[in-house]
Amino acid sequence: MPVPFIDLKRFEPGFLEKWKEKVAHLSTNASFIGGEEVAVLETSLAKFIAKKHAVTCANGTDAIQLALRAVQVEKNDIVLVPNMTFWATFEAVVNVGANPVTIDSDIVDGGVCYQSLLTAIDKHQPKAVIIAHLYGWASNSLSKIREYCKSKNIPLIEDGAQCFGTLYKGKSIYKGAYIATTSFYPAKVLGGAGDGGAVFTDDEALSIRVRQLANHGRTSHYGYGLVGWNSRLDSLQAAYLNISIDYLDKRIESRKSAIAYYNAELPKIGFEQMIAPADFDENGYCNVCIIRDRDIKDRVQHTLKENQIGFANIYPGTMSEQVCSDKYMLEHVGGAGAEDICHSVLNLPVFPHIKQEELEFVITTLKTIEV
Ligand SMILES: *Cc1c(COP(=O)(O)O)cnc(C)c1O
């Protein structure tokens, strides 16, 4: 039984009909940029995550760049970034002209290593800090990181591309964030029909600056107060997300039950799982197996391929290991925890409405491997 790593085509009954109607309606009216769909989406997003302001933009990478620019990061400033994250986090820093310093990861939860972060702040006095909430949860030290950055007056940007719908201490994970971002790339938990992203904050002035930057720095249609760029979310994307958000709780539930099944079954057959720290109620973004033995990992991947079971390695390499990163990085602070995770991580299929027999097939297949 082939089991894809992710299948985005498992639409709920009635979903595609609603989408087709929207496309027809928006097309008939030539409503393609801005308008009601975008406004409605921003209101629903803010409500869903308990944040005062949600500003949509073209993608999750832009969202990070907008946040960096909004907190006044400028050319040659220093910004701390996790050594383990998606490349976009690192890239955003470079694209605003700043210099990244990478911070090691905590091997228990995959978030930044708190001690390395403190060392790097002390040493570099950065203009801003970015942390990334990977796998559907965040660092066990999230509150401490927020408090520490606040006490030092350093803006903390939270790359929340993978944690839409995650709860922290019973509330939306974004709730305590100064400024956070997300992505609506189709494979994310709230995915669009193309690219999209958003910036979340409770600070009105920041939200105004983000909105302005994402629309050419406009003060009026042909008046410009800043050099920004075009990072608007289009109306069709907003419409798709407006339909999807109503299905989100059910999709998250389905993802979470897949994760719960893996977390119960995989350790029984010898596969170590990285799991969400106790304060988090994860969104089920992905499964995280840790297989340190190179030979076992190779055999597992081979067997999965042979049985047409999809898998991923999120992520196979750190920022500092990329061939071009030396050119941009000032330094790496901390040890090799990020490398350790990157070299041992393996992610099994999880997506909304994955079937129980598919999950069972994954486990049955893994059972045949000697670990
Ligand atoms: C997906 C992702 C991004 C980038 O989002 P795009 O919408 O693809 O630009 C940034 N950071 C993390 C952690 C991501 O997972």
Give the CATH architecture of domain 1-371: 3-Layer(aba) Sandwich (3.40)
C-beta separation of 348 from 365 below 8 A: no
* SS3 sequence of 129-192: EEEECCCCCCCCCHHHHHHHHHHCCCCEEEECCCCCCCEECCEECCCCCCEEEEECCCCCCCCC
Q: Which of 159, 231, 318 to mutate to test the pocket of ligand 1 (most atoms within 8 A of CB)?
A: 159
Q: Cβ contacts of residue 82 below 8 Å, gap of 6+? A: 89, 102, 103, 105, 111, 112, 130, 131, 132, 319, 338
272-273, strands of its sheet edge to edge: 272-273, 289-290, 345-346
Q: Read off the pTM.
A: 0.98
Whether residue 37 has its Cβ less than 6 Å from ligand 1: no
For residue 92, report the distance from its CA to the centre of ligand 1, in Å. 10
For residue 21, report the distance from its CA to the centre of ligand 1, in Å. 29
Q: Determine if the peptide bond prior to 222 is cis (ω within 30°).
A: no
Whether residue 104 has its Cβ less than 6 Å from ligand 1: no
Q: What does the pLDDT read at residue 371?
A: 85
pLDDT tens over the chain, length 371 residues:
999 999 999 999 999 999 999 999 999 999 999 999 999 999 999 999 999 999 999 999 999 999 999 999 999 999 999 999 999 999 999 999 999 999 999 999 999 999 999 999 999 999 999 999 999 999 999 999 999 999 999 999 999 999 999 999 999 999 999 999 999 999 999 999 999 999 999 999 999 999 999 999 999 999 999 999 999 999 999 999 999 999 999 999 999 999 999 999 999 999 999 999 999 999 999 999 999 999 999 999 999 999 999 999 999 999 999 999 999 999 999 999 999 999 999 999 999 999 999 999 999 999 999 88
Length of the chain: 371
Whether residue 132 has its Cβ less than 6 Å from ligand 1: yes
The closest-lying atom of ligand 1 relative to the alpha carbon of residue 197 is: 7
Whether residue 90 has its Cβ less than 6 Å from ligand 1: no
Whether residue 136 has its Cβ less than 6 Å from ligand 1: no
- Which residue has a Cα nearest atom 6 of ligand 1? 60
The closest-lying atom of ligand 1 relative to the alpha carbon of residue 64 is: 10
C-beta separation of 269 from 363 below 8 A: yes
C-beta separation of 318 from 342 below 8 A: yes
Angle CA 42–44–45, to nearest 5: 65
Whether residue 58 has its Cβ less than 6 Å from ligand 1: no
Whether residue 88 has its Cβ less than 6 Å from ligand 1: yes
Q: Give the single-character DSSP code of 233.
A: P
Whether residue 65 has its Cβ less than 6 Å from ligand 1: no
Whether residue 158 has its Cβ less than 6 Å from ligand 1: no
For residue 302, report the distance from its CA to the centre of ligand 1, in Å. 28
The closest-lying atom of ligand 1 relative to the alpha carbon of residue 59 is: 7
Whether residue 162 has its Cβ less than 6 Å from ligand 1: yes
